[in-house]
Structure 1
Amino acid sequence: MTAAAGIEGSPLADNFDYEALPSGTPLSANLLAGAFAGIMEHTVMYPIDAIKTRMQVVNPSPAAIYNGISHALTRISASEGARTLWKGMTSVVLGAGPAHAVYFGTYEIVRNELVGDQRGAHTLATGAAGACATIASDALMNPFDVVKQRMQIHGSVHTSVSSCAKAIYKNEGLRAFYISYPTTLTMTIPFTAFQFAAYEFFTKKLNPNRHYDPLSHVASGGLAGAVAAAVTTPVDVIKTLLQTRGSATDDRIRRCDSFTSAANVIYEKEGWRGFLRGLRPRVVTSMPSTAICWASYEAGKEIWRRYGRSL
């Protein structure tokens, strides 16, 4: 029996809304729920994310050309070992916890400011809160994402997060960790806005009573992730080029330093189809990872509602 079902018929039932933690709940509860959600989201589907990164690389070597997800899994496992699919995950774990804590903490604060005590779905307010959340979290996560992608690409010589970070800093300077940040925001702000708005929309359809319901959170999160991933894939391709340019052999790619210059290189080399590189693995990754993220976040909040006062 859910917590919501347990209070039906009580004086609290009319005021209960699963989306928001109880009044007076400390911000730390949202931060902990967000950190838990972020780590779960990024680690479970990490091998598919690694494949997406490789498929988005412009001018890959012949050994790094893949015909779909299953072909990539087989080829990488056979030639480089299955462990290669997990290279760089430590960087994600180190960054995802704090970044998602900031992400969901900011989301709750902004959403509460915009919505207040009004119940029901508030799509525009939720989208705006999501956009603010991603600006804050990406500022923290971007360097970790750069290190992760450098370790994911074919032929990466980096064996640890620290050695990779040191090499990037030594060869390219501090700017390399943030050169993709404006492009990242160009992608993640609409991604987050689409994701949060779509999550609200699907939740309203699948869970109109607004009770805690893991199945509806998983379904709504998965559908929201698919929509957001598909729409923002072209910008993700540009971001990948900027974050991996230091490892490229093409001199023009190495000189790319902005959204526009990277987009021009992709278009000139591969046309419009180049901006759809990695679409399938990106959607395949986003559906379960976003579902896991939302389900974990809602579960974390539900645990706090039930046991928070005794913790």
Structure 2
Amino acid sequence: MKTHQIAAGRRTLIRGFTAVGLAALTGCAAGERASSPPSASPSAAPAAGPPAARALNPSAYRLRPMAGYEPQRAATAKLTVRHKPILSMDFERGERAMVLTFDDGPDPRYTPDILRTLRKHDVRAMFFVCGEMAVDNKDLLREMADDGHVIGNHTWTHPLLTRMTRSGMRPEIERTCEVIEDTVGEPPAWFRAPYGAWNRAAFRLGADLGMEPLAWTVDTLDWNTPGTGTIVTRVLRGAAPGVVVLNHDAGGNRSQSVSALREYLPQLIDDGYRITVPRRRGI
């Protein structure tokens, strides 16, 4: 997909699809994220963040034929089907812990820099990867796993799931699970719907594959390249125990996201926050 087409597509999705997708959420309230500190309740309504961008590198987005696809993975223990995504983490009372997440990658232009910064400060993060990016960048998946990061499922091609049939969703989610498991040796335990748009079928398919649905509480809006300083300010202002921060490491020019992480991460640590990942499913 060409750069100008991606930009145009993003604007179209923001104007036309986000409201439709969020309206389809089961039991979830639509609307922009509140400016007050996020609730620690995992059943709170999801933030209505704008869509994540698609990646620019055509060679990294070769789509394998889906017709007749039959997953080869072993059956995964099913979870209870949620009606709302998890928005924040319930860490121990009084613990100043936060979670950083990165969507749409891995992208060899930006993900390695993010991994280096996380490694420098000895912290762990979550990466919600798209299968069509992961399949051509398996070395980065292995690097994530070796560093102790959590790899989540962000579908294969980043579609708006609420506009798809259940049968159309299934290969998008299953194929990404398979690539992750084949590469790092274990299936993903977490799933994030593209554009933050969930519906009943998405929740059920994720649970059937053993994944908990994770949204976010602080949206950096870094996909819109608002400037490094703006991204830093949004993270620091939204910082609170249990917060889940949404960033992107692919889908466009993510140099601002890379630079912002270098600035806000040491500040969060200096402020006494422990940057970590879930210790178990559904924490």
TM-score relative to the length of structure 1: 0.25
Greater share of strand residues, 1 or 2?
A: 2
Greater share of helix residues, 1 or 2?
A: 1
Higher Rg of the two aligned structures: 1
